[in-house]
Structure 1
Amino acid sequence: MFKRIDHIAFTVKDREKSIAFYEKHFGFHQYYEHTVPVPAIEKIVYLKLGDTVLELIHMPDGPQLTGYHFCLESDDFDADYTRLQEAGIAVETEPHPAGARESRETGWRRVVFKGPDGESIEFRG
């Protein structure tokens, strides 16, 4: 049976800009990059944060993302929110209470920021 999501993948138009964005603002680090035999894709890059893996599919002429998001868990919601806001990252949805799916989430809030290719980046905590 399945046990977890291995990675989340999405297209990016500027590989280096996206790598820098996720490393600087969210603490990911690049650990693998390769080319693929698909003409529209220049490279695929993997970034890691703990056990979370993002696969950035570098397609300079690819489609823009819509209706998509991923969510990170924050251990200091206020500090992370302030840091990202001060860095000038656009807020898509202002902080608001998040429903507690389990007791440890009681009192949590959620917020959604915009990534460099229009991806929605939620975090909760």
Structure 2
Amino acid sequence: MFKRIDHVAFIVKDREKSIHFYEGNFGFKKYYEQNVPVPTIEKIVYLKLGDTVLELIHMPEGQTNQGFHFCLESDNFDEDYARLKKAGIPIDTEAHPAGTREPSEEGWRRVVFVGPDGELIEFRG
């Protein structure tokens, strides 16, 4: 039986820019990078935040990530929201109340920011 999602992958045009973006703004850390024997992919980079892994597929000529999103959980929504907004990261959907799927989520809010390659970064808390 399956246990969990191992990682989330998406295309990036500028590998170093994306690594810097996710390390500097969200606390991810690069832990592995590899060359790939596929002509359209330059490298694959893995970033980790706790048990969450992002796979950045470096394709300078690749497609955009329209319609793609992932969601992080924040332990301090107001602080994280203010910091990312101050950093000038574009907002797709302003902060608003989130649906309560479980009792522990009572009073949570959600917001959606836009990453360097059009990926949507939601966070709740």
2:114 corresponds in structure 1 to 114
Superposition pairs for residues 1-125 of structure 1, below 5 Å? 1-125=1-125
Tell me the SS of whatever aligns to 1:45.
Answer: strand
Shift of the alpha carbon at 1:66?
Answer: 0.8
Tell me the SS of whatever aligns to 1:101.
Answer: coil
CA RMSD of aligned residues (A): 0.3
Aligned residues: 125
User: Identity, % of aligned pairs?
Assistant: 75
Tell me the SS of whatever aligns to 1:83.
Answer: helix
Shift of the alpha carbon at 1:30?
Answer: 0.1
TM-score (norm 1): 0.99
Tell me the SS of whatever aligns to 1:88.
Answer: coil
Tell me the SS of whatever aligns to 2:53.
Answer: strand
AA in 2 matched with 1:63: Q
Structure 1 runs of 4+ with >2 Å offset: none
TM-score (norm 2): 0.99
Shift of the alpha carbon at 1:33?
Answer: 0.2
Residues 51-92 of structure 1, C-alpha deviation per residue, up to 9 Å, x if partnerless?
A: 000000000000011111000000000000000000000010
Q: Distance in 2 between matches of 1:16 and 1:101?
A: 36
AA in 2 matched with 1:61: E
AA in 1 matched with 2:55: E
| Structure 2: gaps spanning 5 or more residues | none
